[in-house]
Amino acid sequence: MSSLKEIKSRINSVKSTQKITSAMKMVSSAKLRKAQSNMERFIPYKQRLEGILNRFAESCLEGLNSPLMERRRHCRVAIVAISSNSSLCGVFNSNTIKSMLETIRRYQDAGCEIDVYPVGKKVEDAVRKLDVNLNVAGSFVSLIDKPNYTDAKTFADNIINEFNEHRIDHVEIIYNHFKNAAVQIPVKEDFLPFTIQKHEKTTTTDYLIEPDKYAVLNELLPKLLRMKIYAALLDSATAEQAARMMAMQIATDNAEDILTDLNVQFNKQRQQSITSELLDIVGGSEALK
């Protein structure tokens, strides 16, 4: 059985850890509010543009084409996997890595060459440890620290150029979607080639297009793709803070449960020690009579 000194040392250690996890929860909570605010301001704009482009493309679908909509046999695939740069956020990173590994295996089984764009230190470390034939396209850890549109645009344009020049034939994005503070959903979605989201038409719209439908499509489509990358970064950054906040809340609650058990153990041990000392005193007193 542990001594009183050992139990007290463990209590102090757990209290110290609890203070750290509680502080980290408060920091993540503040960061979550800011990240969620940034995401909520941007997502409606992206969804609106996506809706406009889809309706425009549907109305002009006959004969409409773009290099970014060209479907090819998947000979070379690019995977954009988004994680965090730090840990202590539950299964947030492991979900992304697991989904990425499943996607890699699927394309390897199909005989495809694979380029990986790891956004975030955790997924980058996981990719570099893999003993498989992959092309790591670079290091993009700075993209997820403080997502901004300028960096996201540069990153998206690089992928778009690779696709236009036929160096990659298909692009998928893997990240965690923020549903609410308690739930983050792993997402895999196609990025290129772009697919028109068809909706059931209730009315027919006759658009007047200047200068022509191809010029409009080629102007709007890259903008939307850049926004999809930026939206994924914002979404993942928000989900990360929510996951870390929940992980630190659970850790703080667990620390409280451990403290309760340790205090009970300490009190029992102290009571046993006092009882033993009293018995020694009584025994000594009886021996002197």
Q: Considering only 84-93, 127-136, 215-224, 267-276, which range has the smallest mean pLDDT?
A: 267-276
pLDDT digit string (tens) for 166-181?
A: 999 999 999 999 999 8
Domain ranges of the chain: 65-200+221-240
Write the pLDDT tens digit of every residue in 195-230. 877 665 545 566 677 777 777 788 888 999 999 999
pLDDT at 50: 84
237 in Cβ contact with 148 (< 8 Å)? no
Give per-residue pLDDT as tens, 137-158: 999 999 998 899 999 999 999 9
- DSSP letter for 91, please: T
pLDDT in tens, 11-70: 999 999 999 999 999 999 999 999 999 999 998 888 888 888 877 777 665 656 788 888
At 1, is the pLDDT very low, low, confident or very high (cuts 50, 70, 90)?
low
Average pLDDT score, the chain: 88
pLDDT of residue 141: 92
Kindly report the pTM of this predicted structure.
0.88
DSSP per-residue letters across 168-230: -SEEEEEEEEEEETTEEEEEEEEEES--------SS------SS-HHHHHHHHHHHHHHHHHH
Q: What is the pLDDT of residue 199?
A: 60
Range 234-246 average pLDDT:
95
Phi, psi of 121 (to 5 degrees): -65, -40
Structurally, at CATH architecture level, domain 65-200+221-240 sits in 3-Layer(aba) Sandwich (3.40)
The residue among 68, 107, 73 whose CA lies nearest residue 116 is 107
pLDDT at position 271: 82
- What is the per-residue pLDDT for 275? 78
Per-residue pLDDT, 48: 87
Q: If we measure between CA atoms, which residue out of 165, 163, 232, 222 comes closest to residue 193?
A: 163
Angle at 233 between CA 161 and CA 227, to 5 degrees: 50
Region 81-89: what's the mean pLDDT?
94
